[in-house]
Structure 1
Amino acid sequence: MKKSPFSFLSILIFTLWTFSSFGQGTNTLEILKADSLKGANGFERLLGSVRMKNQNTLISCDSAHFFRTSNMAKLYGRVLIEDQEDPVTTRSTYAEYDGNTKLAKLRNKVVFTNGETTLYTDYLNYDRAQNIATYFNKGKVVDSTNVLTSERGRYEVNRERITFLDKVVLVNPDYTMKTEYLVYLTIPKTAETKGLTNLVSKEGNTLDAQKGSFYDTQNKNFRFFDGVVETETSRVKAEELLYKELEAYYEGKENVRVFNKERQVEIFGDVGQYWEDRGYSLVHGKALVRRYFEKDTLYLTADTLISQDHESDSAKYLLAFHSINLIKADLSGIADSLVYNYNDSTIQLFQDPVIWNQKSQISADSMVFYIENEELKRVFMKEKAFAIMTDTLTNFNQMKGRKMTGFFEEGQISKLNIEGNGESLYFALEGDTLTQGVNRTLSATIELKFKEGAIKRVKYDIKPDGRFIPVQKLDEKSSRLDGFLWRLEEKPVLDSIFAWRPVIEIDPDQKNLFNEPNAEIRMPTEEEIQKSLEKRGLNKKKPVLTPLKTKNN
């Protein structure tokens, strides 16, 4: 039966329409333009002003090899891959594009641009289906704020997230950061690292973290884990350390330590805050102070510490509250609260303070210590002042009064002045080996002088009331002044200080990526040396030595 022309034409149009629709709805690479086309049987060479298309992806280059059967192309010279739906463009001098997987492999002078963010590398794989670009063998990302480089990287375009791996360096006008793993969000411009992270500011300040960090590069906020921030005047460390650079504010949690380099004072605690511009710090939770002197160190424990030390302040001080324990080479003490004045190195103790100095114990409602040239020079005690000294036979010599001033030489008490309702009780010895009795005296004022901790002379006012009690008549009451209380078991020792807050010292040799060489110098192997010599025609084979033949052979 003869087919009508209409039926044949309808079938042809339907077939063409179906083929066209199929081509648009699949991953087939399409040739849009080329100056010339050579080849057939599944392989074609496209020369001059080449333009191709793969769904929403436009491709242009100087020339291309198109493998129609495998639906892939090799692109040469001024390669440009553009997306019609998002602002991503990619350039290189060579690329391979697979239309089935939508994977572009770009090589040599690759420039990957997404809005304000540009990635430079020589080796980039760009998965158009997932919108993920991966580079290896070094890459650089530049935006309006930062420049980041690394050996390897992964750019998740849809998430505006770039992961940098191996020898990562972040540079901006304020800081340079080095680490081995960094995640950068391009929109808020934040950087999150894992593991060792080191920063150096333009002023020379260092910011280091052993367990990673978070850096808001626009707002200049930092969060460090096991971190240290060191400036010319201070060093702050904590397990979790927040640093707001624009506010010069630090906040630390767990094992906080703040070191004032000028004062040589270091404060430790569970939680801390520090305002650098104000020179003000607040630390609490098993707080500890170490005041470094040339000859020794003063240790102080408390529940809470407040330090005010700024050049504009007339009053510079350290306040300590509750559970006060104090240790220095020549004294130990306890109190409820304390004030340490930075200007004159005075220490004020309040609410039942007790101080021990070698063989002596002193107590009062409040007292003030004066330290000069790193040594204890004087102590002033007010209200209910009571001093106890032990002699060579462990007897308790005792003095009390309304006010009392003690003077020290080379760490030992040398003189004691008592003012108002003075009372003294000291044991008379014979040759430092035998107790003869006790001298008890009432006087408005009393002055006692000591030598090597022992009473050598006592001076009273005009009408003292005194008596001597022989050793045979001594009992508990007659050998004690009212209010006597020997509290040696409360005396703090270094072991109790270290038990209060164990301190792990900062390792000065801790690894820092800024100390690592930028380039590795590797010696070539014997095989590489041999190949190099052969390539340059310098390889001379060693002659094979054979035994010489003699006439007898």
Structure 2
Amino acid sequence: MTSALFRISFFLLTFWSLSFCAKAQETSILRINKADDLLGEGGNGFVRFVGNVEMEHKNSLIYCDSAHFFRAENKARLFGNVRIVDQKDPVITTSRYAEYDGNTQLAKLRNHVVFTNQKTTLTTEYLDYDRSGNIAYYYNDGKVVDSVNVLTSERGTYEVNIEKITFKKDVVLVNPDYTMKTNDLVYMTIPKTAETKGLTNLISKDGNTLDAKNGSFYNTQAKKFTFYDGIVETETSRIKAKELYYSELDAYYEGKEDVSVLNKERKVEIFGDVGEYWEERKYSLVHGNALVRKYFEKDTLYMASDTLISQDGESDSMKYLLAFRSIKLVKTDLAGVSDSLVYNYSDSSIQLFKDPVMWNQKSQITADSMVFYLANEELDRVLMKDKVFVITQDTLVNFNQMKGRTMVGYFKDGQMDKIDIDGNGESLYFALQADTLSQGINKTLSANIKLRFKDGAIQRVTYGIKPDGKFTPFQLVNEENSRLEGFIWRFEERPGMEQINAWRKPEEIDPNANNLFNEPEIELTLPTDEEILKSLEKRGWRPEKKDT
């Protein structure tokens, strides 16, 4: 086509466009601004423009190497180096091929699509861009990159006006500190926040994991998380809650509803309704039907209370567990109640305050204060001060009793082995014949008393200087002379696992729970023997015939 003929044709096309616009004010016209060449009208009712094509539609300038312009339908097909530039918003879209509809303002871009909005870039192979709503959709894998994060997914929607991107299916968020996987994520590009729905899994660069069954909210700049049905696990701890907040910069956790805090080094796990944990200080506060589980190799110590404080500092004085109000202790070889308790991690001691009562096998111990020591996962000894009263039952269920100012009890294989009483000692025990017949009661006053046990029953008693003793034959024994002053048998108060479970039965963590990081990136389907045989036969292979 000659240059003169092209100018005439282009003039007529421009005149037609302006005339059509005057007749249809309400219709948005796709206009041709310039092109190097016009090749005439094609058989399908389009005009073909070639070389440096520039088109205009509302606030957008459209560039490409060549175009098929369907003037009757107000549409165009764009080929080669397609570029759509929004003159109002800082949005530029490029691709190798596109279709643009001037009536619906919908651009369908294909092959090497790049959608850029300031510092946010979306790349994909298949993008529909709704210019009327300023919304971009991709359908077969896309990647969004900004100054902090890289996000990929199978499908996505970018709402430019509100800087919101919705990612669907196989979503992966990567930043310098974390990698997150989910199937439903909403990312706000301006505050750089990510909100997920459903299963969400995250791994930090340090190997810490954050998992949620019911979604999360993540401020990627402030590094603050909220996980729903969430678990955060580090090398030294594990935190779980129905609603779990975590600030990485502060190393601070806050949990609500069904909270658990596990100290892996101490093998101590704390449960409650509400909890806080400061990771660097290794300090936790849990309250609301709080429960402790101290894990041993062969046993577990349970402790219920209203409020728990755990501190695991550098010095021995800063390694303890505090429990307040309504204390209940349960272990295979002991049980106890008190108002408050201190468990020292450094020496494995349990100190009870305010009307403490401890039970071991068939023994009951009360005092104003008492300290139990554990060794090799079992009771080792107990120190008691002021108003000390020990009651043990023999084989005939008689109550042997001991009182004193201070008392030290020693255990062997989980049972009472010996007791040393110092100051104002009193003892009352039943003398038995062959462990089957009661002969009477030995009642003795002595400053110092030593008792030795066998299988939980008194075997031998040794007294200090000038003991004052009295024997009462069995025929004269009654309730009054068979009780020391202050005797109260409180065995019905002894807690067991029924009371612990009624107080709180934690929801255990499922070790086989779904995790998106466990799913293979690519699934390989191996062919069957029949499929392999058919494939070989198509390529000319025939099985060898055996000689008969």
Q: CA deviation at 1:56?
A: 1.1
Q: Whole-Å Cα distance in 2 between the matches of residues 87 and 434 of structure 1? A: 100
Partner of 2:226: 223
Moved more, 307-316 or 372-381: 307-316
Q: Provide the C-alpha distance between the structure 2 equivalents of 1:188 and 1:538, rounded to a whole number of angstroms.
A: 59
Decide whether aligned partners of structure 1 residues 313 and 472 sit closer, same or farther in structure 2, where only a CA change above 3 A counts: closer
2 CA distance for matches of 1:540 and 1:63?
A: 50
Which one-letter code corresponds to 2:208 in the other structure? N
Report how far residue 311 of structure 1 moved.
Answer: 2.9
Residue deviations 1:242-267 (CA, integer Å, cap 9, x gap): 00000000000000000000000000
Residue 495 in structure 1 maps to residue 498 in structure 2:
yes
* More deviation, 243-252/417-426: 417-426
Deviation at 1:504, TM superposition (A): 2.1
Report SS of the residue matched to 2:400. Answer: strand
SS of residue matched to 2:161: coil
In structure 2, give the amino acid aligned to 1:349: L
Which one-letter code corresponds to 2:34 in the other structure?
K
CA distance in 1, matches of 2:433, 2:479: 21
Residue in 2 that maps onto 1:11 = none
Gaps of 5+ in 1: 1-13, 543-553
Count of aligned pairs between the two proteins: 527
- Answer whether contact 2:316 2:346 (CA < 8 A) is retained: no
Partner residue of 2:454 out of 445, 451, 475: 451
Distance 2:17 2:136 in 1: 37
SS in 2 for 1:247: coil
> 2:431·2:439 contact (CA, 8 Å) conserved in 1?
yes
Q: Which residue does the alignment assign to 1:392? A: 395
Matched, 1:92 2:101: no
Change (3 A) 1:33 1:473: same
TM-score normalised according to structure 1 size: 0.92
Distance 2:47 2:80 in 1: 17
Which residue in the other structure is 1:34 paired with?
A: 35
8 Å contact kept, 2:17–2:31: no
Question: Are the equivalent residues in 2 in contact too, given 1:34–1:50 (CA < 8 A)?
Answer: yes
| C-alpha deviation, 1:499, in angstroms | 1.5
Distance 1:418 1:54, change over 3 A: same
- Picking from 288, 291, 304, the partner of 1:288 is 291
The 1:527/1:166 distance shift into structure 2, 3 A limit, reads: farther
| Aligned AA (1:519) | I
Q: Secondary structure at the match of 1:158?
A: helix
Offset from partner CA, 1:240-299 (integer Å, 9 cap, x none): 000000000000000000000000000000000000011100000001101011121111
The 2-side partners of 1:512 and 1:149 are apart by 18
After superposition, give the CA deviation of every residue in 1:22-49 in whole Å (9 maximum; x if it has no partner): 5776311111000011223841010000
CA contact (8 A) 2:21 2:27 kept: no
Residue aligning to 1:419? 422
1:528 CA displacement: 10
| Structure 1 residues 59 and 335: alpha-carbon distance in aligned structure 2, compared to 1, 3 A threshold | same
Contact 1:530 1:539 in 2 (8 A): no
The alignment partner of 1:361 has SS state of: strand
Distance 2:321 2:434 in 1: 47
Q: Rate the CA distance shift 1:32–1:151 in 2: closer, same or farther, 3 A.
A: same
How far does the alpha carbon of each residue in 1:298-355 deviate from its partner, in whole angstroms, 9 at most, with x for none?
Answer: 1100000000102356421000001111111211111110000000000000001111
Query: Cα–Cα, structure 1 residues 397 and 243, in superposed 2: closer, same or farther, change >3 Å?
Result: same
Determine if the alignment matches structure 1 residue 271 to structure 2 residue 274: yes
1:4-23 matched pairs, under 5 angstroms:
21=22
Are 2:96 and 2:110, in contact at CA under 8 Å, matched by a contact in 1?
yes
Which structure 1 residue ranges, 4+ long, deviate > 6 Å from structure 2? Answer: 14-18, 524-534, 539-542
1:430 and 1:153, CA in 2 relative to 1: closer, same or farther beyond 3 A? same
- Contact 1:26–1:55 at 8 Å: present in 2 too? no
Per-residue CA deviations over 1:495-519 (Å, capped at 9, x if unaligned) read 2111211122111111110010111
Q: Secondary structure at the match of 2:508?
A: coil
Q: Distance in 1 between matches of 2:328 and 2:255?
A: 24
Q: What CA deviation, in whole Å up to 9, does each residue of 1:424-459 have, x standing for no partner?
A: 100111221111111111111111111111111111
Tell me which amino acid in the other structure corresponds to 2:221.
Q
Shift of 1:377: 0.9
Q: Give the alignment of 1:367-446 within 5 angstroms.
A: 367-446=370-449
Partner Cα separation in structure 2 for residue 335 and residue 159 of structure 1: 58
The CA deviation at 1:100 is: 0.5
For the structure 1 residues 218 and 34, does the alpha-carbon distance in structure 2 shift closer, same or farther, using more than 3 Å as the test? Answer: same
- Letter matched to residue 222 of structure 2: N
- Sequence identity (%): 68
- Return the alpha-carbon distance in structure 1 between the equivalents of residues 117 and 492 of structure 2: 72
Gaps of 5+ in 2: 1-14, 544-548
The Cα shift of 1:218 comes to 0.3
Give the structure 1 partner of residue 245 of structure 2. 242
Q: Quick one: which of 489, 514, 519 aligns to 1:516?
A: 519
CA distance, structure 1, for counterparts of residue 192 and residue 352 of structure 2 = 51
Q: 1:7 maps to what in 2? A: none
Q: Secondary structure at the match of 2:330?
A: strand
Relative to structure 1, the CA distance from residue 225 to residue 193 in structure 2 (aligned partners, 3 Å threshold; closer, same or farther) is same
The CA distance in 2 between the partners of 1:315 and 1:31, in whole Å, is 78
Corresponding residue for 2:10? none
Partner amino acid, structure 2, of 1:87: P
Q: CA RMSD in A?
A: 2.3
- Match for residue 483 of structure 1? 486
